Structure formats: structure tokens, C-alpha cells
Amino acid sequence: MRKKTMIVAAMTVVLFSVGAATVYALTLHAGDLVIEAEGGFSPKALPRHTNAPITLHGGGKLSTASGALPPVLKELTILFDRHGSVVTTGLEVCTKGKLAATDTKTARSTCPGAIVGEGLGSAVVKFPEQGAIKASSPITLFNGPPKHGDPTVLAHAYLRVPAPTTYIVPVVIETIHEGIYGYRTKATIPPIAGGAGVPISGSLKIGKKWTYKGKKYSYVNARCETGRLQARGEFAFADGTRLSGTFLRPCTVRR
């Protein structure tokens, strides 16, 4: 375990040493484990001092150099640039109770006005002495009830393999004050197929716009004060491995 911790620490130092460059995608290594991740936003032209609507997108893939299954991802934490905001004024709120035991189509039709993002997730299910089974599901992010004044989302997925199962992951969009970072989300990945499932990849696109009482709103907003927006991903695995990396995306001031 001590050797593994040293590998992760060295990788983190390398990532921060390239901070002056624009990092659009990351490839992280820890022993046999490989993480490929990317992220960004649009539009790139934003006001300097006031927030404007944006759409976020991101995704990642887990693999190993040897071709074996990677360790199970247990927790994904993302820190977001403080030069922005999340707005939920007048937005429909969905609850875990409404989404319980629903497939993707039913969930989306139950809380259509609360959908703030969509994507796709995939996993491999490997039981002892059996071949690997591929499984995938659309991912839907719903605006959830606020917690201690912070917005929340409910991430919904529905896998039919090895048995029909609904997964609902609550995520708090926590306000923080950590240098460039002003928001943090932390998602605990639930056991898939009783622990036999290994998350392999995922992608999300977040960006909802709506009108409430005659005024237009956007779920995700940002401004271009520093010429770039920044995010940081932190990955924690069941075997104790921890990796982190920073995304830097340039923006231009909209005239």
C-alpha cells in the first residue's frame, strides 16, 4: 500500500507541473491502472464579470495495461471553477421516491422538467468462473431537493444485466472556498450486480435552459475572468488507489 501511495503522489506532481499548458484530456497511470478522461464547456466566449449560460460535457474510461479488469471505482469527486453558478429557480424538483424501481423511459417521463443532464455509462459484470458480461445504461441527472441550501442532483441509471436494477445516486453540489474552486460534487458509486460489476466508462452532458415567470434561466453558468475555466477530478478505488488530475479550458471575453 505504501508503494502504491507513492505512485499516486508522483503522478499528481506531474499533472500540476503542466498546469501552464491547456489540458483538454488526461491520461493517468497508477501501476496497471489507466484512466482516460476529458471535459469541457461551450460556448467559449463569455462575459468577463457576469455569468452567462454554458453547457458542460465530460467523460472517462477505465482500463489496465495488462488487459485485466480495473479495480472497482468507489468514489468520484469533481471540483469546479468558482467563476460560475448553478441556478435552480423555478426548476422542477424530482425525488428518489418518484424514481425508485423505474427504467430510463419511465424515470424521464416521471420528472421531465427536472432533467438537467444526460449521458451513458457502461460496466463489465464478472462472476466467479463465468465469462464477463457487458452492461450499459443511459444516465439521467435530475434536479433534486436542496440540502443545507446547496443544489442536488439525482443520477439515475437502469441496468438489465444480470437482472433489472435501478440505481439512484444523490449528489450534492457543495459550495466551497478552495482557491480557484468554488463548487464540489462527490458521487459514491453503488455496488453493481452485488459487487461483481466494474464501471468501465461514462459520459455526461449538462446544460438546461428554461423560462420561469417570464424570465430565462440556465442551470449552469460561467464567466471568463481569468482566460480559462478549471476543474479537478479525483478518483478513489476499492483497492485503495487514488488518482487526481486537473482540466484547464481556455475562454475568451465576449465583447
Q: What is the pLDDT of residue 24?
A: 59
Q: What is the pLDDT of residue 129?
A: 83
Give the C-alpha separation, 166 to 137, whole Å. 10
Band (pLDDT 50/70/90 cuts) for residue 12 is: very low
Band (pLDDT 50/70/90 cuts) for residue 10 is: very low
Instruction: Tell if the pTM clears 0.75, that is, is over it.
Output: yes
pLDDT digits (tens, 9 = 90+) for 96-129: 999 999 999 999 999 999 999 999 999 999 998 8
Average pLDDT value for residue range 169-197: 96
pLDDT digits (tens, 9 = 90+) for 210-220: 999 999 999 99
Q: What is the pLDDT of residue 130?
A: 86
Q: Identify whether the C-beta of residue 250 lies closer than 8 Å to the C-beta of residue 227.
A: yes
Q: What is the pLDDT of residue 23?
A: 42
Q: What is the pLDDT of residue 22?
A: 38
Residues 6+ away with beta carbon under 8 Å from 51: 84, 85, 221, 222, 223
User: Comparing C-alpha atoms, which of 124, 127, 116, 179 is closest to residue 153?
Assistant: 116
Pseudo-torsion of CA 186, 189, 190, 195, nearest 10°? -150
